[in-house]
Copies of this chain bind each other. A is one copy, B any other.
Amino acid sequence: MNAKTKIASSDDLKNLIRDVPDFPKKGIIFKDITPILKDPDALRYAVNELSILLEEFQPDQIVGIESRGFIFSPILAYKLRAGFIPVRKKGKLPAETIRTSYQLEYGESELEIHQDAILKGMKVAVVDDLLATGGTSKAAIHLVEKLGGQVAAVAFLVELTFLKGREKLRGYNIFSLVQY
């Protein structure tokens, strides 16, 4: 009983994304992707397009960043017959981790990855829902490389081009399906 939308292009995805003004705080227009997620055809289209972009790299592992980054990365791991590696906020992963800190708009935060998550030389794709300033992705890339992994590609559903995150990720293969 889901609504039937016809999804045949990235513009159709873009049309589903909802602007939420003043979230998470005054003056920010939040790009809400949940209308894509709840639409089976749109979810399917987005996953298939991201999969096409990544498959040529034959990643061994797909890295996803807590929490919204956990949505597309496990599906792509399944679809590309890769494994899924969670990168989480400090204190959430149970076994031995390595850690990196990164800048937020105000202050700093820390991300962790399990020490045994990635073997030296493994090909890794980092997947997240949104490329904004690139700080979080850069931190995840740093963790993968510290473990000896090779970041073959970084893919996003949505890219906010005006925040120039792509510049911070220069030298990597960067992909996004929907741009603002």
Contact = CB atoms under 8 A, between A and B. Distances in A.
A67 interface: yes
A137 interface: no
Given A74-B72, A78-B78, A43 B94 contact: no
Contacts of A72: 74
Interface in A72-126: 72, 74-75, 77-79, 81-86, 88, 91-95, 114, 117, 119, 121-123
A122 B1 contact: yes
A83 B40 contact: yes
Interface string A36-54: 0111100110010000000
Contact of A67 (B66, B82, B91, B94): B66
